[in-house]
Amino acid sequence: MLGGERGSVQNTLIKYATEIGWDYISPADALRHRSVKTGFVFHGIFSHQMQTLNPDFMNPQLAEELIKRLERIPQI
């Protein structure tokens, strides 16, 4: 029997990501970070990072507008 995608692909990627310093976010935590269940942006984290990385012009309102624009991009 062949292994599933989780065992052969996803777990390997999660292990590598944690080794290089990324944090694993469980599916339940991911749902809490999104504004809608099908969204792909973690609103609070994204907004904070945009303001941290672009302190000269990014504010909460601009970050929220950027999120809205990103979420309007059709997902394939």
Q: How confident is the model at residue 75 (pLDDT cuts 50, 70, 90)?
A: confident
Range of the domain at 72: 25-76
Q: How far apart are alpha carbons 75 and 72 in whole angstroms?
A: 9
> Is the pLDDT confidence value at 60 over 60?
yes
Q: Is residue 50 part of a domain?
A: yes
> Is the pLDDT confidence value at 2 over 80?
no
> Is the pLDDT confidence value at 1 over 50?
no
DSSP 51-69: HHH-TTT--HHHHHHHHHH
Q: Is residue 14 part of a domain?
A: no
CA 12, 7, 31, 67 dihedral sign is: positive
Overall number of domains in the chain: 1
Q: 17-56 pLDDT, tens per residue? A: 999 999 988 888 988 888 777 778 899 999 999 999 999 9
CA distances to 12, 23, 30, 51, 61 from 38, rounded to whole Å, are 25, 21, 11, 24, 22
